[in-house]
Structure 1
Amino acid sequence: MSALSKAKGFRSSKSGLYISMATSAFGAVGVVKQIKKARGESDMLRLVDAVVTGAAVVTNLAILYREVKRLGDDDVLLG
């Protein structure tokens, strides 16, 4: 198996999904900062943008969580 094939399979492995979830959760920190800044400046457009971005982060986390549950014990990198 080539290194490129292993790298492509990493995203669909359990550890790859956990890293993707952590990255998405880290994006939520940016959303919180954006909301605080928008509320401080009373900027409604930035606040709406932050809320929509937050919804995207939550949806992404839900999809990744579903994939982790589906993956179960069939880890690509282990076998």
Structure 2
Amino acid sequence: MSALTKAKGFKKSKTGTYLSIGTTAFGAISVIKQARKARSEHDTLQLVDAVVSAAAIVTGLAILYRELKRLGDDDVLLG
């Protein structure tokens, strides 16, 4: 099995999904900082951008959670 094939398989594994959830959640820190800065500067456009980014993060986390549940349902030992 080539390294590229292993890397593609990792993306669909439980470990890869957990890693994706962690990195997506880590992105929330910068969005929180952006929102705080926008509020302190009374910058409505920056605040809207932060809200849209936060919505994208929440949606991404929901999709990853769904994928994690799907991977858990495929586990033979759980069934």
TM-score by length of 1: 0.91
Higher relative contact order (CA 8 A, sep 6+): 1
Unaligned runs of 5+ in 1: 75-79
Kindly state the Cα deviation for residue 3 of structure 1 after the two structures are TM-superposed. 1.1
- Distance in 2, matches of 1:70 and 1:2, equals 26
2-structure distance, mates of 1:11, 1:38: 35
Matches within 5 A, 1:1-79: 1-72=1-72, 73=75
Identity of aligned residues (%): 68
CA-CA distance at 1:22 after TM superposition:
0.2
Tell me the C-alpha RMSD between the 2 structures: 0.9
Provide the TM-score with structure 2 as the length reference. Answer: 0.91
- Residue-pair matches, total: 74
Q: Secondary structure at the match of 1:67?
A: helix
Displacement over 6 Å in runs of 4+? none
